[in-house]
Structure 1
Amino acid sequence: MALNPLNLLKTLAWRTTFAIRETGQALERLGCQMQGIYSHEEIINRHTSVSPIKFDAPKIPSSAFVAPSSLLLGKVSLGEGTSVWYNAVVRGDYGSVTIGKNSNIQDSAYVGACSEFSPYVVIGDNVSVGHGAVLKGCSVGNNTLIGMNAVISEGVEVGVSCIIAAGAYIEENSVVPPNEVWAGNPAKKLRDLKTSERDYLRSLPERYRELSGQHKEIMELLELKQHEYSR
C-alpha cells in the first residue's frame, strides 16, 4: 500500500524539525556544562509551596524567600526579608501565623497551631527558628533564637532577646522573660543573656537574609531554565 505523499511530507518535516530541536538542546546542554551550569539536569519540582485554605492565602512580600520544598498554608503572613527554608512547614489552617521582618524558619521546622482552640502564632522581627524546631500556638519576641529541635508549647510567651537551647521543651503557658537563656526538659532558666550573645542574636538573621538572597537567585535561574526546556 503506497504511502500518501502528503503524509510522507508531514512525517519528513516532523522528523527534520525534531532533529533540529534535539540538536539545539544538545548544544545548549554542552555549552552549559562547559560553563559549569547544570540547571538543565534538575528535576522539575511540582510541590506547591504556597497554598490557600478556608479562603485564606499566605501573604508573602517580594523580598521574602520561600524554599521550593517548604509549605506555607492558609492564613500566614511573612515580613520583609523573612525566609522559610527547605522542608519547613508554616500552617495557618487552624489559626493565623504572623512572622515579622528578617526572621528565618530553618529547615524542617514546624510553626502553627494544633487545633482551633490554639492561640495564634506571633513571631517577632529578627527571630531565628532552628532546624527541626516546633512552635505551637505561641508568641516569640524580637531578636530571639529558638534552638534546633526545641519545642515551644501552646500558650508560651517567649520574650525579646532570648535563647531557647537546642532540644529544650517549654511547657504550656510558660513565660520566658526577656534576656534569658532557657534549657532542659522541661526547660528552666539557665542564666541571663551575655552581651556577646545579644550581639550574635542581632547578626544571625542578617546572615540568613543574605543567604536567602543567594538561594532565591538560584531558584529563579532553575525555574527559567526548566521553563525553557519544557517548551
Structure 2
Amino acid sequence: MRILSSTFGKIRIGKGTTINSCWYSNKAGGGQKKTSLIAEGGEISIGKNVGISNSTIYSRKNIIIEDNVMVGVNCVIYDTDFHSIYIEDRLNENINIIDKPVRIKSGAWIGGHSIILKGVTIGKNSVIGAGSIVTHDIPDNEVWAGNPAKYIKKFKIY
C-alpha cells in the first residue's frame, strides 16, 4: 500500500489500483479529470484492485474505499457539506460544517456520474445505478438507483 501524506491529510492506495484521469481513459466519457482533495485532517483510504475513472473524491474527515470496488466515470464522493446551511454560519467563517465518514465496501460498483454524500456506507457487492445520488446507507448485495437512490432489487452472490 502506498501512503501519501501532507500537512493537510493522508491518502492510502492499495496494490493493483487504477486511477484514470484523462479524456481517453474511459469509453463512457471523461470530461472531468480525477481529483483527490484532502482538507486539513482528512483521510482517503483506497484498497486493492480498485478502479476509479475521472472522479472527484474530497475528504475533510474519512473516506474508505475497500478492495475490488469500481467507481465509474465522473463520480463524486464527499464526506462533507462544505458549507453550513445557515446564512449566519456562512457569514461567520463558515462554522458548523457537517462532516461524516463515507465507506464503500468491497466489491461495490458505483455507476458513472453518481454522487455519494457524507455519512453513507455502501454495502458489500452492491451496485449503484448510473447518475444516482446516494444520501443514506445501502445494504449488501443490492441494486439502488435514482435521485435520490431507491431500492431496485436484491441479488444472489454465486
With normalisation by structure 1, the TM-score equals: 0.49
Quick one: which of 139, 147, 163 aligns to 2:111? 147
Would you say how many aligned residue pairs link Structure 1 and Structure 2?
A: 121
Higher relative contact order (CA 8 A, sep 6+): 2
Question: Quick one: which amino acid aligns to residue 145 of structure 1?
Answer: W
Partners in 2 of 1:124 and 1:52 — Cα distance? Answer: 19
Where does the alignment leave 5 or more consecutive residues of structure 1 unmatched?
1-50, 57-73, 199-231
State the secondary structure of the residue aligned to 1:176. Answer: coil
Q: For residue 167 of structure 1, what is the aligned residue in structure 2? A: 131
Answering whether residue 69 of structure 2 is matched by residue 127 of structure 1, we say: yes
State the identity as a percent: 32
With normalisation by structure 2, the TM-score equals: 0.71
Question: Quick one: which amino acid aligns to residue 164 of structure 1?
Answer: I
Q: For residue 78 of structure 1, what is the aligned residue in structure 2? A: 13
Q: For residue 58 of structure 2, what is the aligned residue in structure 1? A: 112
Is the contact between residue 151 and residue 168 of structure 1 (CA under 8 Å) also seen in structure 2? yes
Question: Quick one: which amino acid aligns to residue 46 of structure 2?
Answer: I
Partners in 1 of 2:118 and 2:77 — Cα distance? Answer: 8
Quick one: which of 29, 33, 47 aligns to 1:100? 47
Partners in 2 of 1:104 and 1:194 — Cα distance? Answer: 23
Quick one: which of 124, 146, 150 aligns to 1:188? 150
Counterpart mapping for 1:1-231 below 5 A: 53-54=6-7, 74-86=9-21, 87-94=33-40, 95-107=42-54, 109-113=55-59, 116=60, 119-137=61-79, 138-171=102-135, 174-195=136-157
Partners in 1 of 2:39 and 2:16 — Cα distance? Answer: 23
State the secondary structure of the residue aligned to 1:98. Answer: strand
State the secondary structure of the residue aligned to 2:39. Answer: strand
State the secondary structure of the residue aligned to 1:175. Answer: coil
Residue 193 of structure 1, CA deviation: 2.5
| CA RMSD in angstroms, aligned pairs only | 1.8
Residue 93 of structure 1, CA deviation: 2.8
Where does the alignment leave 5 or more consecutive residues of structure 2 unmatched?
22-32, 80-101
Partners in 2 of 1:184 and 1:147 — Cα distance? Answer: 11
Q: Which deviates more from structure 2 when the two are superposed, residues 88-97 or residues 129-138? A: 88-97
Partners in 2 of 1:139 and 1:128 — Cα distance? Answer: 13
Residue 84 of structure 1, CA deviation: 1.1
Question: Quick one: which amino acid aligns to residue 88 of structure 1?
Answer: K
Structure with greater Cα Rg: 1
Larger helix share, 1 or 2: 1
Partners in 2 of 1:135 and 1:187 — Cα distance? Answer: 15
